[in-house]
Amino acid sequence: MTAKQTIQSGKAILGIEFGSTRIKAVLIDEDNKPIAQGSHTWENQLVDGLWTYSTDAIWYGLQDCYADLRKNVLAQYEIEIETLAGIGISAMMHGYMPFKGNTILVPFRTWRNTNTGKAAAELSELFNYNIPLRWSISHLYEAILDNEEHVADIDFLTTLAGYVHWQLTGEKVLGVGDASGMIPVDPKTKTYDAVMVDKFNKLIAPKGFNWTLLDILPKSLNAGENAGFLTPEGANRLDVSGHLKPGIPLCPPEGDAGTGMVATNSVKQRTGNVSAGTSSFSMIVLEKELSKPYEMIDMVTTPDGSLVAMVHCNNCTSDINAWVKLFKEYAELLGVQQDTNTLYTTLFNIALKGDADCGGLISYNYISGEPVTGLADGRPLVVRSANDKFNLANFMRAHLYGAIGVLKVGNDVLLKEENVKVDRITGHGGYFTTPGVGQRMLAAALNSPISVMETAGEGGAWGIALLAAYAVNNTNKLSLADYLDQVVFAGNAGTSIAPTPEEVDGFNRYLENYKADLAIEQAAVENHKL
């Protein structure tokens, strides 16, 4: 079929992902190739000291993104989208969305918030398992510790992906990968760990709430399972023009980590991927459990329930974006109108000419706190000595190194201390948009070849569309890993870059300076108030 025939016959599949700065929709054909897309730009807000997106912003963003997709389809094919073979919803992972009925009880608390330290520490000790600050259970228990009145009224707790999916289908469900960031999942049962659930219920029993944990959590579903159908109300909320018909099946909603694994064909054991955009995280699918819990390593699962070691960093490219915007303003001041994409490409490429250790320059890209390095809050900093080699190439290289510095700290634990074996690591996200640059920097950081696929720019919206395709088109009942290998990627592993010894040594010298000077960042947090 042509792309137009695919859409007209209702065989196209839609994936939508709510990222930190952009909501993106991708329409794919029966060969899993993108044939149309739409997007909406948005930003989180700092309200009462907490990062949030309002529910109005969520729905306006979704509707505007879908309208942009409709516009793209009309422009390319001169037709309307009437029905689809499947839909998938994905979003930034974890956070806190408690409801009573359809009413959200407090504004959505995103992954970026670091106010849950006491709760996360107590739960980590109780479970003998690392419970990160951003996980839903940390937010819930912190609200209990803080005696927030709304907790007694909760009848449903979910993530952003789970919320949107619920409103579109009426189903209170979640893909197992996203569910594993609410409270740990048992890889054997592929649902919430029964021992930890019991421990939590006993911990909060003296509070006398009229709910226990499983009463309020969404049902955990495995990749490939049906997760409901688009209701008439859901169709109207998604497509305000009224063209889209109800009854379309949806796959389990997933987090952006899960869709990143799918989009990079990294759900099989001994594979891994690095997503680098507003935040960054690495995901390595394990052959066995780690020897002990680590505060900087989160244990989650693939969308089909395999155990994954995740190093999540709150900050990645936001500070680079701010500097590129500054350079653009400077160019315009000189009367030079510069295309933003060209500016990014130029500045990223100049970084390749910098010294392997950035000439001594250090960048701390901490727009917000960074739990891996123990910072509860952040202040972006450039640190240099008077004798450092301060030029544009080293400046940009330092920022590219700084964007993945924390990621390096966490992965050293996995690769060196735990001796985890990885056959292939694939990069995706905005950090890798300029060919060969971010890829080479990450290879130096991890001392490992890094692959990037041509589809890397498609990102999580394409990943959740693939999960929707797996749910409706997997007629041969393949495992998710085999479906991706055989049907979607057909052996394509992308282009690989291996680091040179000089690059590895240079990054290691940079990281030594980075860790040694973290006290400067800490002092900035303590002494420079927002």
**Using one digit for the tens of pLDDT, what is the confidence trace for 461-486?**
999 999 999 999 999 999 999 999 99
CB 254 within 8 A of CB 175: yes
The whole-chain average pLDDT of the chain stands at 95
The domain 261-314+420-497 having CATH identifier 3.30.420.40: the answer here is: yes
Please report, for residues 294, 340, 450, 456, the alpha-carbon distance to residue 346 in angstroms, rounded to integers and kept in the order given: 39, 10, 22, 20
pLDDT at 459: 76
Q: Is the pLDDT of residue 457 over 80?
A: no
pLDDT tens by residue, 80-121: 999 999 999 999 988 999 999 999 999 999 988 989 999 999
What tens digit of pLDDT does each residue of 422-448 get? 988 999 888 998 999 999 999 999 999
What's CA 231's distance to the chain center, in Å?
A: 27
Under the banding of pLDDT at 50, 70 and 90, the label for residue 24 is: very high
DSSP letters spanning 474-520:
-TT---HHHHIIIIIITT---EEEPPPHHHHHHHHHHHHHHHHTHHH
Backbone φ and ψ for 487, nearest 5 degrees, come out as -95, -45
Nearest to 88 by CA among 218, 224, 180, 246: 224
**Coil/strand/helix, residue 130:** coil
pLDDT bracket for residue 456 (50, 70, 90) = low
DSSP classification of residue 145: H
The pLDDT of residue 321 is: 96
Mean pLDDT (whole number) for 142-170? 98
pLDDT at 1: 85
> What percentage of residues in the chain have a pLDDT greater than 70?
99
pLDDT of 164 > 70? The answer is yes
What the block records as the tokens of 179 is 């569910």
Rounded distance between C-alpha atoms, residue 229 and residue 14, angstroms: 13
Grade residue 160 by pLDDT with cuts at 50, 70 and 90.
Answer: very high
Is the pLDDT at 143 greater than 60? The verdict is: yes
Tell me if domain 3-255 and domain 261-314+420-497 are identical in fold.
yes
CA angle 368, 137, 405 (to 5 degrees): 30
Higher pLDDT, 310 or 459: 310
What is the H or E stretch that residue 106 is in?
none
Res. 279 pLDDT band, cuts 50 70 90 = confident
Contacts of 473 (CB under 8 A, 6+ apart): 30, 85, 86
C-alpha closest to that of 94 among 33, 36, 21, 163: 163
Sign of CA dihedral 314, 254, 442, 457: negative
Kindly calculate the radius of gyration of the chain based on its CA atoms and give it in whole angstroms: 22
Boundaries of every domain in the chain: 3-255, 261-314+420-497, 318-408+500-527
Closest to 37 measured CA to CA, from 4, 5, 68, 2: 68
Q: Label residue 239 by pLDDT band (50, 70, 90).
A: very high
| CA atoms of 468 and 63, how far apart (whole Å) | 20
Instruction: Name the band, by pLDDT with cuts 50, 70 and 90, for residue 125.
Output: very high
Residue 175 confidence class, pLDDT cut points 50, 70, 90: very high
- In CATH terms, the superfamily for domain 3-255 is ATPase, nucleotide binding domain (3.30.420.40)
What count of Cα atoms within 13 Å lies in the side-chain half-sphere of residue 232? 0
Residue 449 has pLDDT above 60, yes or no: yes
Q: Which pTM does this prediction carry? A: 0.84
